[in-house]
Amino acid sequence: MEALRASYGDSSSDSDTDDLSPASPVTANSGEKDSISLPPPPLALLDSIVSTGSLDFFSTEPGVRVRNFPHVDGNYALHVYVPEADVPLSILCKDDQKFERALGREFHISLGRNVPLRVHQINSVISMLRQKLQLQKRYLIDFNKWEVFVNDDHTRSFLSLEITTSGLSEISKQIDAVNEVYKLHNLPEFYKDPRPHISLVWALGDIRTSLKGAVDVELRKLRAGGCVQNRIFTSKFCGIECKIGNKTHKICKLPDE
């Protein structure tokens, strides 16, 4: 047991903190559904948000990160996700260097909540996840909608790219499989109506109104200019990972093409 604890790092470390991704699909939408998929807002959007002083782009200061759950000795943060390391910044923005500084680089699609896991549950969770998810086929994921999300306790707001077409069905089935494993271990399941996405930038507090407003202004400019496309960019599904404490496990990995 002690050897197992040692391999997952100190349970009181930052591995118990949140993963800088939205914890719930609470959005700034007022009920209006946009049926047009649009390209990303220009760099001016970032400038306009930064000028308000509200957005802290992926700050690494120790005081910024907030736990999703209280620390308990012997607990390790569990997170199951699809890694998306190949986000093409050149497509998102012409000024790559400035955009690179604004973004985090560990993009991912969450397949389950970030929850505390007891040390004696680790092997069982990994084994069951692999059993249910190891046989996956490659598919394409279209990121085609900008959306604003806020986490459960309203401590963070996120500017995200949502998946609403290609890849949504496959990811939804993977979320169902993860939910089954969580349920068997008495862990909180994912949200009833999950909205798969990757988060690009985040801000402290609930600033959904100002952030959504800034996005809407830029998108209206693009509409007026006749700039419309079916997707922002497309990525290939390449596998699923599970992070427990400081250790990452490959649940399934497809061979490189």
Active site residues: 108, 197
Whole-angstrom distance, CA of residue 196 vs CA of residue 230: 17
Whole-angstrom distance, CA of residue 125 vs CA of residue 119: 10
Residues 176-206, buried b or exposed e (16+ Cβ, 10 A)?
ebbbebbeeeebebbeeebbbbbbbbbbeeb
Are the CB atoms for 107 and 85 separated by under 8 Å?
A: yes
Per-residue three-class SS string for 237-249: CCEEEEEECCEEE
Are the CB atoms for 122 and 215 separated by under 8 Å?
A: no
Whole-angstrom distance, CA of residue 150 vs CA of residue 180: 25
Q: Which is nearest to 43 in space by CA: 53, 51, 33?
A: 51
- Point out which residues pair with 75 in neighbouring strands: 118
Q: Which is nearest to 106 in space by CA: 75, 131, 81, 124?
A: 81
Alpha-carbon torsion (135, 138, 142, 146), positive or negative: positive
